[in-house]
Structure 1
Amino acid sequence: MNELWIILTGMLVASSCALLGCFLILRKMAMVGDAISHAVLPGIVVAFLVTGDRHSFPMLLGAAAFGLVTTLLIESLRKSGVQADAAISVTFTSLFSVGIILVSLFARQVDLDLDCVLYGEIIYVPWDTIIWNGLDWGPKAVWIVGTTLVLNALTILLFYKQLKLSAFDPAMAAALGIPVAFFHYLLMGLVSVTTVASFESVGAILVVAMLIVPAATAYLLTDRLSRMLLYSVLTGCLSAVTGYFLAGALDASVAGAMTVMAGVFFILALFLSPRHGLVTRWWQRMRLQRDLASHGE
């Protein structure tokens, strides 16, 4: 049963991250997701210091708030003339460093250490359960990440057209009266909440891969957003399942193995994608050359 909970948690994390990752990829904001996933650390620490509970709802709010602060700072720096990559780098490294200092100063003696925040450990998920009315309702991580997945999925279903148009053509979306800025910050807020909800299982560093790699894999496999969302979720879930058994075979970190498998699937898509794969393109060029040679004869 513990094995099932671990795999389920990995699938939920991968799915919730993958859905948002598709829009980050299309908006060419992959590094913004990286920045937010690191810069929310001060918000987590501040929320913990205020509430004294690292499973609290205020912790999600603190992370989301700092995620929006990160986005605002990046946009402000870009508008002031700083290059986009420099703005992202300055913002997330500064906020992340502040978070590390806060952890080392105020949370050194509690279970909010750097290993917990940065790396996480998914194998402990089955033992941290919710007990209510004398009944065991399952791991807290499953409920938290599952709720986040439902929130992300419902938001995308409700605002699919607006998010799609804002991602592909923001100017047209604004001309049609769609509040592009609102949906931009809504997406950033969801990324923040999803990141902190995934901390316990995969950590701040590995969640970056789950945000980007399955979505990037799906991007290579299709040109339609609806299919991209589906393929990204399937890739993330497959990475979670195969990564778990890889970790068992190697006696290695489960979360790390899941991320490695996500990278493996990306490499396979990079070479073997039906339309954009390197091998596919090479084969098409070779066939075109043969056709031209045959016509020349």
Structure 2
Amino acid sequence: MIAFWIILTGSLVAISCGLLGSFLILRKMSMIGDAISHAVLPGIVIAFLLSGNREPLSMLLGAGFFGLLSTFIIEYLHQKAKLQTDAAIGVTFTLLFAVGIILISVFTGKVDIDQDCVLYGEIAYVPIDLWILDDGTIMGPRPIYILSTVLVLIVLFITIGYKHLKIGTFDPAFATAIGIPTVLWHYLLMGAVSITTVASFESVGSILVVAFLIGPPATAYLLTDDLKKMLIITCILGVLISFFGYWLAYWLNASIAGCMTVLLGVFFTIVFIFAPNTGILAKKLKSNKNAISI
């Protein structure tokens, strides 16, 4: 049963992050998840100072607010200051992370409070993080309910806004010309990314969240040019990586998140070499055929 909960948790995070990560990959904003993982630190500290405790809900609310704030700052710098997206991301997350460090050193120097509260979760602890009702009824792991809710919201968001997100991703100028509010949908996408990453941090840790945001979509991108197929392949890859990554960790007696991330790299490498159209071997064979025909 422990294996089931861990694999299910990994799959929920992989699907949620992968669906959003597909749009980030296409928009060349794949590292936004890593930026958010640093930028939320001030929110964690402020939430602790206001609530006086380290309850997960208050931490997530504080982190979520600053995750959203960071996306707004990044977009503002990109649009108004004409910074490249990667530069805007770098400036924003380093600034907010530094503010968080200062708040910790000034106000919580004698308290055990830092980014570990939210950012560096451990997926192996999911089966013992139980939701227990007042009458003592055990409902199962609490992260499963949180991540399932997030996944449902993400699926609804993409289903409702698929046309707007697709056109805004591939041709924002055309989207604006036909009346699609591209700025609004961009902020909605960034908000969804922020909420998803922050909700996943405590359960699986920031490294695995960033890996699932980038790895499965990047692998799927090498296999197809169709967005719908890319989303489907991304989800399948996420589940496979969660399943085999857990059993690899069990076999090696190693870190589960580490094994999932390494396995993700293995999947990507295999596709990078053997993909039918974009793989190294396919390109080499095509090049040889062209040379022979000439």
Deviation string, structure 1 residues 224-262 (Cα, Å, up to 9, x no partner): 111111111111111111111121222221112111111
| 1:282 to 2:284 alignment | yes
Contact 2:43/2:63, CA 8 A, preserved across alignment: yes
Q: Structure 2: how far apart are the matches of 1:167 and 1:54? A: 38
Task: Give 1:147 deviation, angstroms.
Answer: 0.9
Contact 1:63/1:192, CA 8 A, preserved across alignment: no
1:14 — aligned with what? Answer: 14
Contact 1:120/1:201, CA 8 A, preserved across alignment: yes
Deviation string, structure 1 residues 24-68 (Cα, Å, up to 9, x no partner): 011111122321232123223323443335321x54443332223
1:186-197 equivalences under 5 Å are: 186-197=188-199
Identity %: 56
| 1:179 to 2:181 alignment | yes
Q: Structure 2: how far apart are the matches of 1:201 and 1:89? A: 25
Deviation string, structure 1 residues 250-290 (Cα, Å, up to 9, x no partner): 22211121111111111111111111111111122223333
In structure 2, list runs of 5 or more residues that go unmatched.
Answer: none
1:30 — aligned with what? Answer: 30
- Decide which moves more: 84-93 or 13-22: 84-93
Q: Structure 2: how far apart are the matches of 1:178 and 1:246? A: 46
Task: Give 1:81 deviation, angstroms.
Answer: 4.0
Task: Give 1:201 deviation, angstroms.
Answer: 2.3
| 1:204 to 2:206 alignment | yes
1:146 — aligned with what? Answer: 148
Root mean square deviation, CA, Å = 2.0
Q: Assess, with a 3 A threshold, how the Cα gap between structure 1 residues 38 and 114 changes in structure 2: closer, same or farther.
A: closer
Q: Structure 2: how far apart are the matches of 1:233 and 1:275? A: 21
1:103-122 equivalences under 5 Å are: 103=104, 105-106=107-108, 109-110=111-112, 113-122=114-123
Contact 1:38/1:204, CA 8 A, preserved across alignment: no
2:3 — aligned with what? Answer: 3
Q: Assess, with a 3 A threshold, how the Cα gap between structure 1 residues 48 and 231 changes in structure 2: closer, same or farther.
A: farther
Deviation string, structure 1 residues 148-196 (Cα, Å, up to 9, x no partner): 1111011001111111111111111111111111111111111111111
Q: Assess, with a 3 A threshold, how the Cα gap between structure 1 residues 155 and 60 changes in structure 2: closer, same or farther.
A: farther
2:127 — aligned with what? Answer: 126
Residue 213 of structure 2 aligns with an amino acid whose one-letter code is L
Task: Give 1:130 deviation, angstroms.
Answer: 0.8
Residue 13 of structure 1 aligns with an amino acid whose one-letter code is V
2:93 — aligned with what? Answer: 92
1:228 — aligned with what? Answer: 230
Contact 1:67/1:188, CA 8 A, preserved across alignment: no
1:221 alignment partner, SS class: coil
Q: Structure 1: how far apart are the matches of 2:8 and 2:109? A: 30
Contact 1:103/1:114, CA 8 A, preserved across alignment: no
2:42 alignment partner, SS class: helix
Q: Assess, with a 3 A threshold, how the Cα gap between structure 1 residues 108 and 229 changes in structure 2: closer, same or farther.
A: farther
Contact 1:121/1:200, CA 8 A, preserved across alignment: yes
Q: Structure 2: how far apart are the matches of 1:20 and 1:45? A: 27
Residue 145 of structure 2 aligns with an amino acid whose one-letter code is W
| 1:40 to 2:43 alignment | no
Q: Assess, with a 3 A threshold, how the Cα gap between structure 1 residues 239 and 272 changes in structure 2: closer, same or farther.
A: same
Question: Which of 247, 252, 263 is the aligned partner of 2:265?
Answer: 263
Question: Which of 133, 158, 161 is the aligned partner of 1:156?
Answer: 158
TM-score, normalised on structure 1?
0.90
1:75 — aligned with what? Answer: 75
Q: Structure 2: how far apart are the matches of 1:153 and 1:103? A: 37
Q: Structure 2: how far apart are the matches of 1:176 and 1:48? A: 46
